[in-house]
Amino acid sequence: MRALLLSGLLGLASLPAVAQPAQNTLRIGIFEDFDVPDPALSRTFSGLQILSAMCDKLLDVTPDLRYVGAAAESFAWTPDGRGLVLNLRPGMRFQDGAPFDAEAVAFGINRHLTLQGSFRRGELPMVTGVTVLGPLTARIDLNEPSIPLLSLLVTRAGMMVSPQSAERGSPACSGPYRLRERVALDRVVLERWPGHWNAANHHIERIIYRPIPDGNIRLQNLRGGGLDLMERVSAPDLPTVRAQRNLRVAQALELGHSFIRFNIANGPGAEGPWARDARLRAALEASIDREALVNVVFSGEAVAGNQWVNPAHPLYASAHPVPRRDIARARALLAEAGQPRPTLRLAVPNQPELVQAAEVIQSMAAEAGIQVQVQAIEIGAYVRNNVTGNFEAAIGFWGGRTDADGNVSFHVTCRGPNNDGRYCSEEVEAALTAARREAEDDARRPHYAAAADRLLADRPNLWLWHRRNSWAFTSRLQGFTAYPDGIFRYAGLRYD
């Protein structure tokens, strides 16, 4: 299998020659291109990564995942749990000079809910509006208690834009860096914004993001001095990085997961037998050896899983452990379904590790009689195909949310913003709705168990693994901290 994987790697290449960066420039290798500079419309992980430098969030998390204030200096639930009161940091402004106040928060949340094409609308179904309580105090109003709202406000849903800039069609945020240049598939350049409330603690003057899908090429350029920091170091490369004296490695187990999503009811891709018969989906799962998959593709630097949280998570449904591979069961299920040699079109973003994983799954499934056709697609086209239903099955990844609800509800509830397969179950909907009302794990656990009972029988998704995120960077860079959400924080970063 390793030979199979290595044969799919792209040839190494260096970045195009560019002018030598200034001393205070941070050059970052990311794995995919920036999608759109608007927190309401962005969907990709790299979009979140770059927007997090451009846009303050209402809340943030610490490395151990405690919620803390950001643009909102403090926050508190109302006694009935149907409102979250935000006390904003005084003196903040957007990058176009407009005040960051309670009216701006009301505008920003309402924009997320009403803007045509907003991906945040589906994340915030519990939000009914925003009440302005004072110049710097706003209350987000909910139709029912929903503890996971906090986890949304530390991502794009918590990013506000200047009302006047949004009306001009060029939304301005309030983050420590502002967009200077963007060249599709080549670079995104941000510059430090001196008007930021915490500008004194942001020492990097310029950030250049270079989208490089191949991890080997990212590493080559880091080792050669063309990059200062790279995300997603491939597992086989970690020993090389650790052995190099001028490089450092940081790691954190991700909050999210990687999975196969089936198109159940979304357009042309849902017309085949894989959408109609859960036995076929069960057969594919039975053909997959998850432990072998993570060992071959990730050299053990990932955790095999079968749910939206990893097996060590307190809300993992322990009644459903990671299943073992069972080729005999896979063949029996195919025969029972009257499809002894089915063909499955499996779309995958054109990123080497995911393509490699798809090829391993292809090899495993063939032993059960399933012919998997791997279709590697550029990330932009991949996302569009998922949204429009132009896929039969797709390998995807989710960076994760600090609250477990964001790792499952977005993907499987009837109106979930990332439910591209259009799976819908009243039983799952009821269980997850009940879980959102509870603050304590002990009270949420039985609801997640009920959701797992149904989801792991219907198999709209096959959850497969949880990555151990790895970053490599020059030893000259001081202050880098690995966060489980995979997002860079720039405050305190400096060169020695």
Q: Which residue has 């109003």 as its token pair?
A: 141
Query: What are the φ/ψ torsions at residue 170 (nearest 5 degrees)?
Result: -135, 75
What helix, strand, coil percent values describe the chain, rounded to 5? Answer: 35, 25, 45
Residue 491 predicted with pLDDT over 60: yes
Distance CA 473, CA 431 (A): 43
For residue 338, count other CB atoms closer than 10 A to its CB.
Answer: 10
- The pLDDT of residue 11: 35
Report the percentage of the chain scoring pLDDT > 90.
Answer: 92
Distances, alpha carbon 89 to alpha carbons 150, 164, 479, in Å: 17, 20, 25
Phi-psi region of 73 (alpha: psi -120 to 50; beta: other; left: phi over 0): alpha
pLDDT of residue 356: 95
- Report which of 254, 302, 232 is spatially closest to residue 407, judged by C-alpha positions: 254
* The two three-digit tokens of residue 280, written as one number: 């076929």
Length of the chain: 496
Helix (H) / strand (E) containing 433: helix 426-436
Write the DSSP symbol of residue 127: E
How many CB atoms sit inside 10 A of residue 318's CB? Answer: 10
DSSP state letters, 64-105: T--EEESSEEEEEE-TTSSEEEEEEPTT-B-TTS-B-SHHHH
- Report pLDDT for 22: 60
Is the separation of the CB atoms in 182 and 207 below 8 Å? no
pLDDT class of 399 with cuts at 50, 70, 90: confident
Per DSSP, the chain holds a count of helices (H) and strands (E) of 16, 20
Greatest alpha-carbon pair distance for the chain in Å reads 68
CA 385 and chain centroid, separation: 18
What are the residues facing 88 on neighbouring strands? 72
- Give the pLDDT of residue 10: 34
pLDDT for 16:
46
The pLDDT, as a whole number, for residue 387 is: 95
Residue 449 CA to residue 456 CA, distance in Å, equals: 10
Nearby residues of 279 by Cβ (< 8 Å), 6 or more positions away: 333, 334, 336, 337
Mean pLDDT of the chain: 94
pLDDT (0 to 100) of residue 362: 98
Judge whether residue 364 has pLDDT over 80: yes
The alpha carbon dihedral of 437, 69, 398, 380 has a sign of positive
Q: What one-character DSSP code corresponds to residue 130?
A: E
Q: What letters, b where the CB count within 10 A reaches 16 and e where it falls short, cover 241-267?
A: beeeeebbbeebbbbbbbbbbbbbebe
- What confidence score (pLDDT) does residue 12 get? 37
Question: Does the structure show a pLDDT above 50 at 310?
Answer: yes
pLDDT number for residue 361: 98
Summarize pLDDT for 162-176 with one digit per residue, the tens: 999 999 999 999 999
pLDDT digits (tens, 9 = 90+) for 408-462: 999 999 999 999 999 999 999 999 999 999 999 999 999 999 999 999 999 999 9
**What pLDDT sits at residue 21?**
55
> Looking at the predicted structure, is the pLDDT value of residue 222 above 90?
yes
pLDDT tens, residue by residue, 258-293? 999 999 999 999 999 999 999 999 999 999 999 999
Is the pLDDT at 241 greater than 50? The verdict is yes
The mean per-residue pLDDT over the stretch 200-229 comes to 97
| CA separation for the pair 385, 485 (Å, rounded) | 26
Mean pLDDT of 10-36: 70
